[in-house]
Copies of this chain bind each other. A is one copy, B any other.
Amino acid sequence: MKRFLHIITAAVLLLVSINLEAQKILYRDKTDPMPVINADRTVTFRYYAPGADTVYVNGDFLPSGKRPALMANNGNGLWEYTTAAPVKPEVYTYSYIVDNQKMLDPLNMFVWRNISDLYNIFIIDGERTKNYQVKDVPHGTVSAVWYQSPSLGMQRRMMVYTPAGYENGRKKYPVLYLLHGMGGDETAWLDFGRAAQILDNLIAQGKASPMIVVMPNGNPAEKAAPLENPDGYNMPLFYLPKTMDGSFEKSFTDITSFVEKNYRAIKKKRGRAIAGLSMGGFHSLYISANYPNMFGAVGLFSPAVSVQEEFKNNPIYRDIDLKWKAQMEKNPPFYWIGIGKADPLYNEVTALRTKFEFCKYPYTFFESDGSHVWTEWRIYLEEFSQLIFK
């Protein structure tokens, strides 16, 4: 056994020693991960690139007008940047730009993928982030599940969260269908959205009802996220084909049928909610309007609203006013719209609200300060999930 450890240790040391020179300079022999969150909540980034001409750090922790931030060359191969002010508690993504090329932080193992782009992450603890972290509370199960979509003619992958206690009970649960935006796929709400942590924590605190959360892949051209896709190891484009042409909306009952056949789901309007961000808000709007008696709650998070000219005659998008009438005049769902003051879609959402108000359709409006970013969507999920299935 000692020998075994020696062999393994030797192999590991070989790997470790490669990074040792860089790490010594960066950490002065400490092994905290990058970046360094200082006592005053400023954040220090260090990047080792002795030969580089320019190194920037980029990320959503920087004020939007001040991205990316040029790092200072300290002369010993190390580039350094400390934020000018304390950084608010949040989950942040960042990367470096080294001689015009986006690079990950070699000293931070925590990485999330958005379609075909990787980002390092860091978290600043605080009131805002307390529900975004894995806590010692009862945990739901997160599953990667394949379902047959006859409408799209393919097996497709989705993620399903079942709340703590689901496995060894008989109870039926309500289902929230939670949709990602353009540039995301079935894992986006779990990584960037912290959906499992938010639900685990809110359910443990008694603030949200135990629910199943179904996170499908809203890109009808894709069977599954990259690496999980039988079509190969392609680098998908950000804007995938067929994302907003009615295909996904039309195929949605393939998902609800599968879920209600395979899970202990409440198969009634009051037991179904649908919500999504950006493109997923667009999907939620048109899916719920086309199936006016299906969902007891609808959440539009920074939604896109208007339909591309070429698809306006698609049966999914046609006659939306009549569909809203059917959805809203008798037993309307709990309809929730959230948007940030700085969101580029703010005016589009205002037009939707004006129409709803003119028609006297009931809805709840939630306004935050931010833009078209995950910071806001996590807040909306926290808000919305506490208001449904009560």
- A residues at B contact (CB < 8 Å): 1-5, 7-9, 11-12, 15-16, 18-19, 21-22, 31-33, 48-53, 77, 97-104, 106, 109-111, 113, 116-118, 122-123, 133-136, 138-139, 141-146, 155, 157, 164, 167-168, 182-183, 224, 226-230, 233-235, 238-239, 244, 261-262, 278, 304-309, 344-345, 348, 372
Contact = CB atoms under 8 A, between A and B. Distances in A.
Contact of A53 (B21, B50, B142, B157): B50
Nearest to A51: B51
Contacts of A168: 261-262
B1 A304 contact: yes
A106 B109 contact: no
A333 B53 CA distance: 63
A157 B167 CA distance: 15
A18 B109 contact: no
B18 A309 contact: no
14 contacts: A1-B306, A4-B304, A7-B372, A8-B183, A8-B278, A18-B101, A19-B100, A48-B99, A51-B99, A110-B227, A110-B233, A134-B229, A139-B155, A145-B167
Contacts of A16: 238
Contacts of A164: 146
A154 to B, nearest CB: 8
Contact of A101 (B5, B22, B101, B135): B22
Given A142-B143, A168-B262, A48 B101 contact: yes
Contact of A100 (B18, B101, B110, B138): B18
A358 to B, nearest CB: 21
A158 B198 CA distance: 20
Q: How many copies of the polypeptide does the oligomer hold?
A: 2
Contact of A230 (B32, B136, B146): B136
Contacts of A157: 139
Given A134-B230, A167-B262, A100 B22 contact: yes
Nearest to A228: B134
Contacts of A111: 111, 113, 118
A136 to B, nearest CB: 5
B230 A183 contact: no
Nearest to A244: B1
A309 B4 CA distance: 12
B183 A12 contact: yes
Given A1-B244, A1-B307, A50 B155 contact: no
A172 B368 CA distance: 50
Contact of A21 (B100, B135, B308): B100
A244 to B, nearest CB: 7
Nearest to A232: B133
Contacts of A11: 372
A101 B106 contact: yes
A78 to B, nearest CB: 11
Contacts of A139: 146, 155, 157
A192 to B, nearest CB: 13
A105 B180 CA distance: 27
A109 B111 CA distance: 11
Contacts of A122: 233
A141 B144 contact: yes
Interface centre among A109, A118, A138, A226 (most CB of B within 10 A): A109
Contacts of A3: 306, 348
Contacts of A7: 344-345, 372
B113 A102 contact: no
Contacts of A101: 18-19, 21-22, 48, 106
